[in-house]
Amino acid sequence: MLQGVLGKSLGILGYTLQYGCIAHCAFEYLGEIVVCSGPSMEPTIKNYDVVISESLSRHLFSIQKGDIVIAKSPNDPNTNICKRVIGLEGDKVCVSHPSDLLKKHSYVPKGHVWLEGDNLKNSTDSRFYGPVPYALIKGRICLKIWPLNDFGFLQDCPNGRARRDD
């Protein structure tokens, strides 16, 4: 009787480990469901919108200007950020605030990207913490699934800043 209980327990443990490994690989290499919080990506992504982030872009393809990505925060590795890619390595980007009269520019170093929120007035992004290493990118957001009235693929940057170099 004890062997039967032990056998069943080990069987359940084995299945749990298998499915845990499958889930880990799916989230790491395929994608995940993400709840976004904060105003930095408004109006494209609002507070508590639910999106699907796919990870294949960072592994097999390349991230492009205009893509919205989930990345580890350069300031806090326990926090994820959601921002738009404004510049790729070698690109010239504007590092000043949009309201500044004198514009300062910089080049994105090799192995980095320049990330900014769509809501420039309320976004902590590369203008504050500098270029973000490509390795911190976890995935590219491809679909908004909640709220249902906004279901679908994400739109381009509402203020046309995907090529911001002013």
Q: Is 106 a catalytic residue?
A: no
The total of other beta-carbon atoms located within 10 Å of residue 41's CB is 26
Q: Is 40 a catalytic residue?
A: yes
β-strand partners of 31: 54
β-strand partners of 141: 53
Q: Which of 83, 123, 126, 138 is catalytic?
A: 83
Q: Which amino acid is at 64?
A: Q
Peptide bond into 77 cis (omega under 30): no
The Cα-based distances of 28 to 24, 31, 53, 98 in angstroms read 6, 6, 11, 36
Catalytic residues: 40, 83
